[in-house]
């Protein structure tokens, strides 16, 4: 069984889309997504600097667009079979929803545009952020975070938890980490997946009537508990609520393991989730699709683990 996974914010790096623009149709696809996003995603994916693409309003649409571009190049319509599961981490859940057919590309980009702008406004209301906590006893880590008023916003498995809260709370965590744990500040602009993001919920609820959610074609997992969503509306419920509640990527990996996943393929900007899988899904082969040079191997990987044909040419898939 094949798992297609889509990364979240912080996975982007300056210029990461430049090699993809050399492929036929990619520039046109990105330009169309740019129109829907209200951003120049071609420029942001090629020449914008690190500080620019760190901005939540830029980073989220850019990450979703990257996944959509790669998915169109990689996946034939027959590749998403019952032997496929799709999941995304945080904003990557929007990419996953489009890949699974639960949202159209236009709806996915519209949703991420409104989500990113609303979360950026919420983040600007107070100086907040996120830090990864690596290692330590889970109960001790939970106790320290609770004592500081921090939220375990991402449970990533493999001994990694992401704490979120005010910058003062995070500074105290860095100064006094849990025993045998390391604290690494993350390049994000706010305390995502916490109560600090609640103002964004009303924006997304107001957007709901304009969207056309559909039942996902393959199995699509929710970040809330790792369970499969049963309908397009249920998926939309998950996407909206996810903004202010923790991401349970550990639960998603547990579900994939229980389903018998035999291979994990990560869409661009790839590397983060395959890294987590090496710790949380030990022994399961993985492939990070980082550049066009990886496409041939990725197509073979899809065919091997899904039992379906993958795209073999670039023409007609942009």
3-class secondary structure, 55: coil
Q: In which element (H, E) is residue 302 found?
A: helix 295-306
Angle made by CA atoms 221, 223, 226, in degrees to the nearest 5: 55
| Dihedral over Cα of 99, 101, 103, 104: its sign | positive
Rounded distance, CA 43 to CA 117, Å? 19
Encoded tokens for 95: 């990419």
Active site positions, annotated? 90, 193
CA distance 54 to 188: 7
Question: From its phi and psi, is residue 38 left (phi > 0), alpha (psi between -120 and 50) or beta?
Answer: left
Place of tokens 């045998």: 180
Closest CA to 186 of 2, 46, 4, 10: 10
Nearest Cα to Cα of residue 186 among 133, 135, 134, 130: 130
Please confirm whether the linkage preceding 269 is cis (ω < 30° from 0). Answer: yes
């Amino acid at each position: 069984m094949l798992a297609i996974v889509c990364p979240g914010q912080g996975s982007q790096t300056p210029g990461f889309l430049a090699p993809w623009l050399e492929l036929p149709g990619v520039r046109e696809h990105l330009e169309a997504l740019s129109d829907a996003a209200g951003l120049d995603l071609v420029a942001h994916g090629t020449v914008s600097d690190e500080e620019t693409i760190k901005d939540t309003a830029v980073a989220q649409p850019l990450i979703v667009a990257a996944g959509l571009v790669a998915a169109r190049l990689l996946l034939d319509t027959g590749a998403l079979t019952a032997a496929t599961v799709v999941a995304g981490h945080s904003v990557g859940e929007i990419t996953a929803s489009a890949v699974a057919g639960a949202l159209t590309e236009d709806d996915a980009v519209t949703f991420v545009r409104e989500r990113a702008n609303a979360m950026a406004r919420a983040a600007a209301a107070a100086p907040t952020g996120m830090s990864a906590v690596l290692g330590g006893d889970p109960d001790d880590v939970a106790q320290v975070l609770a004592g500081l008023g921090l939220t375990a916003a991402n449970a990533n498995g493999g001994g990694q938890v992401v704490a979120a809260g005010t910058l003062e709370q995070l500074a105290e965590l860095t100064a006094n980490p849990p025993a045998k744990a390391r604290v690494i500040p993350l390049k994000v602009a706010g305390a995502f997946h916490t109560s600090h993001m609640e103002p964004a919920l009303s924006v997304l609820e107001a957007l709901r009537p304009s969207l056309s959610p559909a039942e996902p074609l393959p199995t699509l997992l929710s970040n809330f508990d790792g369970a499969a969503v049963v309908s397009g509306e249920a998926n939309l419920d998950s996407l909206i609520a996810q903004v202010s509640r923790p991401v349970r990527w550990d639960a998603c990996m547990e579900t994939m393991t229980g389903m018998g996943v035999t291979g994990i393929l990560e869409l661009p900007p790839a590397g983060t989730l395959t890294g987590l899988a090496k710790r949380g899904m030990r022994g399961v082969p993985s492939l990070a699709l980082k550049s066009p040079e990886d496409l041939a191997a990725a197509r073979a990987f899809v065919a091997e683990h899904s039992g379906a044909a993958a795209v073999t040419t670039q023409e007609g898939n942009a």
